[in-house]
Structure 1
Amino acid sequence: MQMKIIKLLITIILFFVTVAFPVFGQVAKCIVIDALNHKPVPYATVYSSKSGMGIHADEEGYFEWHTGISSDSIVVSSVGYKHQKIMIKSLKEDIVNSIEINQDLVELSEVIVRPGSKSLERIVGFFYNEPDKNRGMGPGGISENQIFVNYYPNTEQMEGYIKKLMFDIKGFDLSQKSSRARIRILSYNKSSGLPDRDLLRESIVVKITKFSPNILLNIEKYKIVFPTDGVFIGLEFICHNEFIYKKKSLSRQKTDCPRITTTKAENYREEGKSYYWTYHANRWIWACISDGSIFPGQSWHGRVFKFGAVISSFQ
């Protein structure tokens, strides 16, 4: 009887050594660093070129990735950096792989302040609108609803800077833990009418907890011009586990994301629509929630995120 137990234990041990170990051994440890100064890039985004699924690196730029699908590649990026594509087969499993990403240097516009000009503050967006308590959206992993933006057209052709950003996040679920969000300010693409390049050259990450007030952020020091074509402003949520690895593939896990408050804008066509960045039908798209193209039915028509901004203009 005792010999049978010993043989059974040996069989189990051999199974884990010969089968389980190779599975869990197919993981590459990586760190994302700035190609110029070789410092870690916190919360860099990483996603699969094939599936669109992905994760965020942690605050030290570290992440892990399964290397079983050698024909796949990953795309690594962050605000202020160019996208870097890495083939999975190039990643080593016995070292920490350094992935360098290059800064994306963009020359920003300036506002010419004429002598005698007066500074005026104008509020754009929907931050002060009444919230819809029954309808909101919750971001998930990078392959679901992650970046939420509002488009603010410059209908009055104001000449000035974006001074302050405002985001309503009071829909936070008290049962959830803390999360983070990165500020996104994106230019308007004239051809597509959709978000294009980052205008904020620095990664600004804010922490969100169940006790957090609304996000009110002064960005006056960055001197970001309010473009004549308008601008997209929103949040990129970092609210799922940094390392999502289970058996042989990436796996979505429970997230700790706040609920995004929405409101009703009767004249959203003139004041601006709301979009979110998602992986849909094997491609990345900016999906509009306001015009019914993604969510059919009158209940979503005119819905916008309760975000806003203060523009400091000169006349």
Structure 2
Amino acid sequence: MYKFLFFFISFSLTAQIRGVVKDSISGEPIPYVNIWVENETIGITSETNGSFSLDIKEEKLLVFSALGYEIKKASSKSEVILLKPKVFELNEVVISIPKKTKELEIGDSKKIQHSQLSGDKPWIYGKLFKFEEKYNETPFLKKIIFYSNSKIKNAKLKIRIYNFKDSIPNEDILYEEVIVSVKKGMQKNTVDLSKHAILFPKEGVVIGLEWMIIEENKYLFEYKDTKSKKTNSFVTYAPSLVINYTEEENSFHFSGGKWRKRSRAISNSGREWDGKIMTPAINLILTN
């Protein structure tokens, strides 16, 4: 039996605001921008034409973030949002070319029948991998493995990779947009990073899975109420992400424009996840 974790949401009278996100230099629309009402659990993803809409009843401060651009905060009354391209500082480095003669899989994640729904929020779920000295023999990130359970075909999500600083995910270290389409049903997904030649940061690396709240991912989730035995439904966005329960505090989520550390689950019901951390089921394959 599949188990899904979701939140019930109460609705109030709202007004829909609309806008478009564009590049401040080229004027071109920016697709798939992560957008949140600051410090709240209300968010959306811009569509392929840069457009977005949110149901909010008063003026709010919105937080816009996208790979390759500086984070921007703007009033919800602004109809056109201009994001400034980020200038990356290049430090002097010794260039290494992966040999790819060795592999090491790390992470201990596995496929179980517990999944996390997005609801209607563009969460980024991140898993921290701490550096160990033995990784010096296989210092490059070769592949990401994660597990999903989608109700629709070809649901899209983003892959993000961050360094780890001051106890939270920090800067992107994958500078190219990587969008993955996952098949319907329970799937093991593999993302090849070989061409990027990313070295495992000594301070640790966070692998992020970003839900995309876009029309093509939308579907109606149905479930049966255990008390009334009635079938209920609500709109959510694919795919669901398989989660594992761990003792290690290595899980983070991005919401409301900020990174937050996942707390231990407490239900007082004697469930297997009581006192543990819900962590996205992600593994890494390293190479030399």
CA distance in 1, matches of 2:267, 2:195: 38
Tell me, which stretches of 5 or more residues in structure 1 are unaligned? 1-22, 92-96, 245-252
The 5 A counterparts of 1:24-63 are 29-49=18-38, 51-63=40-52
**Does the 8 Å contact 1:141/1:240 carry over to 2?**
no
**Normalization by structure 2: what TM-score?**
0.72
SS for the counterpart of 1:150 is strand
Q: Supply the distance in 2 between the matched residues of 1:196 and 1:126 (Cα, whole angstroms).
A: 24
1:132 corresponds to: 112
Identify the residue that residue 240 of structure 2 maps to in structure 1: 259
Tell me the equivalent position of 2:179: 205
Is residue 124–residue 208 contact of structure 2 (8 Å, CA) maintained in 1?
Answer: yes
> How far 1:80 sits from its partner (Å)?
2.1
Deviation for aligned residue 1:310: 1.6
The equivalent of 1:299 in structure 2 is: 272
How far apart are residue 229 of structure 1 and its match?
A: 1.2
Q: CA RMSD in A?
A: 3.5
Q: What is aligned with 1:3?
A: none
Please show how residues 113-262 of structure 1 align to structure 2 within 5 Å. Answer: 113=96, 119-127=101-109, 129=110, 131-133=111-113, 135-142=114-121, 146-156=123-133, 158-159=135-136, 160-169=139-148, 171-173=149-151, 176=152, 179-189=155-165, 191=166, 193-210=167-184, 213-239=187-213, 241=215, 254-262=235-243
Q: Which amino acid aligns with 1:126?
A: D
Of the candidates 77, 87, 95, which is equivalent to residue 105 of structure 1? 87
* Structure 1 or 2: more strand by fraction: 2
Stretches of structure 2 that go unaligned for 5 or more consecutive residues are 1-12, 219-233
Letter in 2 for 1:287: K
User: Residue 125 of structure 1 aligns to which amino acid in structure 2?
Assistant: G
| Percent of aligned pairs with the same amino acid | 22
2:44 touches 2:53 (CA, 8 Å); kept in 1?
no
Question: Residue type matched to 2:146 in 1?
Answer: F
Instruction: Find the residue that maps to 1:158 and give its secondary structure.
Output: helix
In 1, distance between residues paired with 2:265 and 2:90?
Answer: 33
Aligned residues: 253
Higher gyration radius (CA): 1
- The alignment partner of 2:207 has SS state of strand
CA distance in 2, matches of 1:58, 1:167: 25
SS at match of 1:310: strand
Aligned counterpart in structure 2 of residue 308 of structure 1, from 265, 276, 283: 283
Give the TM-score, by structure 1 length: 0.67
Larger helix proportion of the pair: 1
Q: Report deviation, 1:157.
A: 5.8
